[in-house]
Amino acid sequence: MSQPTSMFSAELVVPALGGSLRKLHPAQLVRNPVLFTTAVVALLLTVLLFVGQTGLSLGFQIQLIVWLWLTVLFGTFAESLAEGRGRAQAASLRATRSDLVARLPDGSKVSAATLQKGAVVMVAAGELIPADGEVIAGVASVNEAAITGESAPVIREAGGDRSAVTAGTRVLSDEITVRVTQEAGQGFLDRMIALVEGAQRQKTPNEIALTILLVGLTIIFLIAVATIPAFARYAGGQIPVAVLAALLITLIPTTIAALLSAIGIAGMDRLVQFNVLAKSGRAVEAAGDIDVLLLDKTGTITVGDRQASQFLPLNGTSPVTLARAALVASLADETPEGRSIVRLAQEAHGLEAPEVPAGAEVIPFTAQTRISGLDNAGHVVTKGAVDAILRSVPEAARGTAATELRRIAEDVARQGQTPLAVAENGVLLGIVALKDVIKAGVRDRFAELRKMGIRTVMITGDNPLTAAAIAAESGVDDFLAEATPEDKLALIRREQQGGRLVAMCGDGTNDAPALAQADVGVAMNTGTQAAREAGNMVDLDSDPTKLIEIVGLGKQLLMTRGALTTFSVANDVAKYFAIIPAMFLVLYPQLSVLNVMHLATPQSAILSAIMFNALIIPALVPLALKGVRYRPVGAGQLLARNLAIFGMGGLIAPFVGIKAIDLVVAALHLA
């Protein structure tokens, strides 16, 4: 992702100015009912300026009209500016997409735009992948910097969970065969462009509800203002339309209405800068509401790799015998766990690690057997899950050894370690304990989440004893042991049935149902196409710990909206005290005692209020775009803090602001 330029740099502001004028089109403006009302009132006053008799000075009227139009423009500008940041990112993405060429298996070249779903293309080193798809043959290293911003290449290979490739990324080595999984124009890159541009932006549920509330407030204040002429007539006077218009516009919630869509766009944008793509604004909002986080143990709670920590031989077997057998069984094992066994055998028992003997047959690990090892001309050494190893030795060879092996394995598991059984030529030798290494700082992280009211559930394939020990050590609230994809799905459904919202991340095809079921499903970009389709967010960095930050970003979005709404509504108190005495002075001069701000003249009071009302919009744009700071504390503390800042602040700020503007207006003899 291109790095965002400063919020108010010229390259963003200048196009936003143009955009703010384009957004005055009634068809666009009507999407924002409060700003639309303001524009209608401004238009009405503009027309009345030429045809009406108001009894107000021309200069005052013109200033009023100018400030009303500015109120509308500030609103459209805020939205434009927020969109502009996304548009800059979209432009760099679009550059990647243009001119993609596809090479078909027969060697002919066609434009990527003509590719159909299901088509098969070849991509060799140096070429750009023409469409989203799945590797069906070969393995290659791919530079995905175009979409992730990460320059280190990633491996993409057929089968398994790393088969998805994205249009616009570059193959660095080897050649792969790719089956296209998306129609042209609906690929990942296309969707990303549309998202960051905000072209397909739809109002989110909370935004819709808030808009309804703002419309409601507008109607209420419209009634309050529209009845004033009748009341004034009873009192034997008349209130100029321009003054009524000023009161209406200051009372209706223009501030939040002007900033509402900018807040939403900026929220999505923050996520994009965080290298997470949300497929809808709804998902970002849901992130703020999350009650339960399902976290994969590996990579999130523990560092990815387990380390061998000790050899636990059966009675009658010497530790060295066990260590040597484990070492041999792991010679061909290139996983970090396998290598850690070799290392432990060397360090603890001073053994040499020979090359894999020529002619020896490697027994590969498969999900079915869950055993791996080496078969050197009939000398078979294996290691694997305790049950799997027990099944692999003849019934007669087990004897009491099996019972002892199980007991040791349980002890190991209870300590939060993973037991790995070792057997040599059908004879049980003992257990290698693999230790999970808990990531630094996760304990504090979970404590924070707990304060935020979020429960964490660790998902692991470990047995319950190991899982419980790791859960206790890491401070996670709950765990799901020996988790199958079905278990995950069931857990999510159960939590949702209890009215809780669940977030999870996943990468494999078998995660897809759970990702789709979760309220927030974050798919890893390295994952399969199925997972990326099922989730409602994609993490381009494929970092499962991000789930926690995503929740924070969702909350920040909602908080910003709430804070500015509260601020906007609280502002009305001061505006009343500015305009009501000014307005009714002609009817009852005694009402001047309500002029608590001692504003210079009735006209300066009205002008100051309308100016404050307009100027507060650009003043709050930075806050709307950056978002209110979120702290991981309980809701009570957050509310107290935000109410103090935005509630009390919203009451007090306009008193100060209107008074200050009035001093300037009076000094410059503007009214």
CB of 658 to another protein, least distance (A): 16
d(CA 554, CA 282): 10
Instruction: Identify which of 497, 458, 448 has the alpha carbon closest to the alpha carbon of residue 481.
Output: 458
The widest CA-to-CA distance across the chain, in whole angstroms, is 114
Candidates 509, 617, 628; CA nearest to 35 is 617
Q: How far is the CB of 240 from another protein (least distance, A)?
A: 15
Closest to another protein by CB, 350 or 499: 499
| Annotated catalytic residue 296 | yes
Which residue from 428, 321, 320 is spatially nearest to 383, judged by alpha carbons?
428
Bridge partner residues of 164 (DSSP): 134
For 371-519, strand residue ranges (E) read 371-376, 379-384, 417-424, 427-435, 455-459, 478-480, 502-506
Shortest distance, position 539 Cβ to another protein, whole Å: 21
Burial 347-364 (b: 16+ CB within 10 A, else e): eebebeeeeeeeebeebe
**Minimal distance, residue 457 CB to another protein, in Å:** 14
| Nearest residue (CB) to another protein, 36 versus 567 | 567
CA distance 408 to 140: 43
Instruction: For residues 501 and 497, give the distance between their C-alpha atoms in angstroms, rounded to a whole number.
Output: 9
Q: Which of 466, 410, 435 is nearest to 309 (CA)?
A: 435
User: Please, how many CA atoms are within 13 Å of residue 456, restricted to the half-sphere of its CB?
Assistant: 28
Q: Which is nearer to another protein, 37 or 566 (CB)?
A: 566
For residue 215, the minimal CB distance to another protein (Å) is: 8
Instruction: Please report how close the Cβ of residue 291 comes to another protein at its closest, in angstroms.
Output: 7
Of the two residues 38 and 206, which places its CB atom closer to another protein in the complex? Answer: 206
Min CB(451)–another protein separation in Å: 6
Q: Which 8-state DSSP code applies to residue 359? A: T
Tell the smallest beta-carbon distance from residue 351 to another protein (Å).
53
CA 409 – CA 430 distance, rounded (Å): 9
Distance CA 602, CA 600 (A): 7
Residue number, 203 or 391, with CB nearest to another protein: 203
Task: Give the type of residue at 365.
Answer: F
496: nearest Cα among 238, 286, 262, 256? 286
Residue type for position 176: I
Q: Record the tokens describing residue 595, joined without a space.
A: 């002029």
User: What's CA 495's distance to the chain center, in Å?
Assistant: 21
Active-site annotation holder among 296, 333, 436, 462: 296
3 state SS of 199: coil
| Minimum distance, C-beta of residue 561 to another protein, in the bound complex (Å) | 5
Q: Which pair of tokens denotes residue 612? A: 């404050």
In whole angstroms, how close is the CB of 541 to another protein at the nearest point?
24
Nearer to another protein, 50 or 234 (CB): 234
CB of 436 to another protein, least distance (A): 29
* Residue 421 CB partners (closer than 8 Å, separation 6+): 383, 384, 385, 386, 388, 389, 390, 405, 409, 428, 430, 431
DSSP, res 593 = G
- CA–CA gap between residue 512 and residue 507 (Å, rounded): 8
- Indicate the SS3 state at residue 314: coil
Q: What is the DSSP string of 280-310?
A: -HHHHHHHHH--EEEEEIIIIIB-S--EEEE
Instruction: Provide φ and ψ at 292, rounded to 5°.
Output: -130, 130
* Whether the Cβ atoms of residue 160 and residue 526 lie closer than 8 Å to each other: no
Contacts of 464 (CB under 8 A, 6+ apart): 481, 482
Which residues are catalytically annotated?
A: 296
